[in-house]
A = this chain, B = another copy of it.
Amino acid sequence: MDKALVVLSGGQDSTTCLYWAIDRFGADAVDSVTFDYGQRHRVELECAKAVAAFAGVGNTCLPIDTFAALGGDALTDSDIDVESGTDTETGLPNTFVPGRNLIFLTYAAAYAYQRKIDHLVTGVAQTDYSGYPDCREATISALQQSLRLGMESDVTIHTPLMHLSKRETVLLARDLGALPAMALTHTCYNGARPPCGNCAACELRARGFAEAGVDDPLVVAQ
**B110 touching A99, Cβ below 8 Å:** yes
Q: Which of A11-19, A134-142, A176-184 lies on the face that meets chain B? A: A134-142
Tell me, yes or no, whether A102 is within 8 Å of chain B by CB.
Answer: yes
**A99 touching B103, Cβ below 8 Å:** no
Q: Which of A42-50, A145-153, A191-199 lies on the face that meets chain B? A: A145-153
**B150 touching A70, Cβ below 8 Å:** no
**A103 touching B107, Cβ below 8 Å:** yes
Interface size for A (C-beta < 8 A) is 37
Among B107, B109, B138, the residue within 8 A (CB) of A149 is B138
**A146 touching B151, Cβ below 8 Å:** no
Tell me, yes or no, whether A113 is within 8 Å of chain B by CB.
Answer: yes
Contact of A133 with B149 at beta-carbon distance under 8 Å, contacts A106-B99, A114-B72 already known? yes
Tell me, yes or no, whether A1 is within 8 Å of chain B by CB.
Answer: no
With A and B bound together, what is the CA distance between A147 and B100 in angstroms? 11
With A and B bound together, what is the CA distance between A64 and B134 in angstroms? 21
Q: Choose among A97, A133, A150 the residue with the greatest number of B CB atoms under 10 Å from its CB.
A: A150
Tell me, yes or no, whether A221 is within 8 Å of chain B by CB.
Answer: no
Interface of A is mostly: helix
**A133 touching B150, Cβ below 8 Å:** yes
Interface string of A115-159 (1 = CB under 8 A from B): 000000000000000000110101100110111011111000000
With A and B bound together, what is the CA distance between A72 and B113 in angstroms? 12
Tell me, yes or no, whether A101 is within 8 Å of chain B by CB.
Answer: yes
**B139 touching A102, Cβ below 8 Å:** no
14 additional A-B pairs beyond A65-B66, A66-B66, A98-B113, beta carbons within 8 Å, are: A63-B65, A63-B66, A98-B109, A98-B151, A98-B153, A102-B106, A102-B146, A102-B147, A103-B107, A133-B150, A133-B151, A134-B151, A139-B146, A142-B146
Pairs A-B, 5 closest by C-beta atoms: A142-B146, A134-B150, A98-B110, A139-B149, A143-B146
Q: Could you give 18 example pairs across A and B, Cβ below 8 Å?
A: A62-B66, A66-B66, A70-B107, A70-B110, A70-B111, A90-B152, A98-B110, A98-B153, A99-B106, A99-B113, A99-B147, A99-B150, A101-B150, A102-B146, A106-B106, A133-B149, A136-B149, A142-B145
